[in-house]
Structure 1
């Protein structure tokens, strides 16, 4: 990350990040942001863009919204984030980060912009469908490398054809992009045996998303998908990719209890899987849901950190994808440092 002044508090963002994630948006004034900040992946997909703000240690991704109570003034080489926290006005010195492709320092690319499944929290099935060709993806990576220092390639995708067709498309892309000699991460809906093939094709890490804390919620939120397949694929992946190389997103705020979320986290860690706890961005069928509270976001992040330490797992070792970016979640090993976190 870009450096900031030695006199700046380079951990203030980490201490208040849970409060900002509970808002989820920011208005930006000052030097205009480039139009390339809009994204077709991640929370808020299809909502018209986002901004990445960093203090040099922590990073947060916020949806652009002129009505947001979070205000970022962009000066180009530096920026200031302000908002009214629970204990009064807060100001954080930092900078707006350039995006490689979707997020800083990565070429994070969605292969299929569209999906035949209709997870209730996801906007992707409602977007215009487009499948990028291998040559398009090579071009996007080449362009990202020309605009920024790219440290990895991350691939994700909706499902638009059969699972066999999706796998073959992914394999072809992976063969083409190996020429960049960068760590590669893959996050897709898995099929049996997929991890072995991905490993053979040079993939460094995988992320197969459980999405919900319970089987019951999964059935309600992700009709047509099989959570047992995800568990089996995650456990298989740990045996192939090894420690700190297998991840899963779990959404916080779908209606699970704190005890249910903790049980799911424990089940993951017991099997060597690192969960990324993603605060819900209300959209699609869940547009009337509320974002999780700052207290809930912080509480579960603190629990996750304590258990990660106990199991000897460390998401800060990630080389690709969400755990490397850290923008959409509280990163337990980076944001929750020894200093006091503001409740």
Structure 2
């Protein structure tokens, strides 16, 4: 059985219950992204592969922790021996930090506005990175929007200026102004991720009516000019109502620009609470489309230094989940 087939079914389920020995050091908590505001999550690894689970005591998937990270995954009548990965922040091997845990925008699939998290100080962020410096290879920064897009960008730029002290690759994913790519490039940022989220402009307008779809495309195009092909990423959520044809068209447009798509299964929160996650078959079909598009464009996910494509816990990633 291929890993991608197992992972597709695990991602379709999305959660696991954690049993056995205490595992607090292996539990990650998120202030943004699919797991924001939840009970925490764990990363389970088999060999060089990994998958992230939201923790849910009612889940049909069990991870039995035997101690010191050694764990067994019980799924569909099979036992998969592996290990839990200790997160830096948010994910293993990186300090992936949310600067502002609140947002003035209310995209229909996102629960961050309802959480109303605070903004971290620069000193706090520096201390966080220092505390995990010995076990990370990259720093990744994301953020909500506290008061305005421009004000958030200015604050994140100050954060990044300080983080260059650590000499690690830095990835940044924020909602951009037209000048965000230039300003981040001037600071020496390695990679950027600006998220389309929806596969079509019509879906984007329904999901994020306060945001500008055309601006995101302009920013992605400029980012590739500055950072290079394969150093720019964009989330596209699977399960917002797009067809497979819509998804393929969006993927191929992104890869044609030199952008690596990050195909994120819908997490049923906010206005999508109570809906089902995309099926394993749908995720595998998207994986096949994604793989072909990346190959045709000469893009390699294995070269990613930071953020989601480097982690590959939440998504099926061609090149990393073969």
TM-score (norm 1): 0.91
**Cα deviation per residue 1:21-40 (whole Å; 9 max; x = unaligned)?**
00000011111221652221
Contact 1:12 1:92 in 2 (8 A): no
Runs of 4+ off more than 3 Å: 11-15
Aligned pair in 2 of structure 1 residues 56, 41: CA closer, same or farther (>3 Å)? farther
**Cα deviation per residue 1:129-166 (whole Å; 9 max; x = unaligned)?**
301111111011011225xx110000000011222211
| Residue 87 of structure 2: aligned partner | 99
| Residue 178 of structure 1: aligned partner | 164
| Residue 37 of structure 2: aligned partner | 46
The partner residue of 2:59 within 68, 91, 96 is 68
| Residue 207 of structure 1: aligned partner | 193
| Residue 126 of structure 1: aligned partner | 114
**Cα deviation per residue 1:21-65 (whole Å; 9 max; x = unaligned)?**
000000111112216522212212101100100112111110001
| Residue 20 of structure 2: aligned partner | 30
Q: Distance in 2 between matches of 1:129 and 1:26?
A: 25
How far the C-alpha of 1:116 sits from its partner, in A, is: 0.1
Gaps of 5+ in 2: none
How far the C-alpha of 1:223 sits from its partner, in A, is: 1.8
Aligned pair in 2 of structure 1 residues 12, 57: CA closer, same or farther (>3 Å)? farther
Q: Secondary structure at the match of 1:37?
A: coil
After alignment, is 34-43 or 290-299 more displaced? 34-43
How far the C-alpha of 1:13 sits from its partner, in A, is: 4.1
Q: Secondary structure at the match of 2:268?
A: coil
Q: Distance in 2 between matches of 1:285 and 1:94?
A: 35
| Residue 78 of structure 1: aligned partner | 70
The partner residue of 2:273 within 283, 287, 297 is 287
Q: Distance in 2 between matches of 1:12 and 1:97?
A: 21
| Residue 243 of structure 2: aligned partner | 257
Q: Distance in 2 between matches of 1:290 and 1:211?
A: 18
Aligned pair in 2 of structure 1 residues 62, 202: CA closer, same or farther (>3 Å)? same
After alignment, is 34-43 or 297-306 more displaced? 34-43
The partner residue of 1:116 within 98, 104, 113 is 104
TM-score (norm 2): 0.97
The partner residue of 2:211 within 213, 217, 225 is 225
**Cα deviation per residue 1:148-198 (whole Å; 9 max; x = unaligned)?**
x11000000001122221121011111111110000000000111211110
RMSD of aligned Cα (Å)? 1.3
Contact 2:237 2:263 in 1 (8 A): yes
Q: Secondary structure at the match of 1:161?
A: coil
**Cα deviation per residue 1:48-98 (whole Å; 9 max; x = unaligned)?**
1001001121111100011111111111242111111xxxx2221110000
Contact 1:83 1:90 in 2 (8 A): yes
- The number of equivalent residue pairs is 320
Gaps of 5+ in 1: 1-10, 337-343
After alignment, is 34-43 or 92-101 more displaced? 34-43
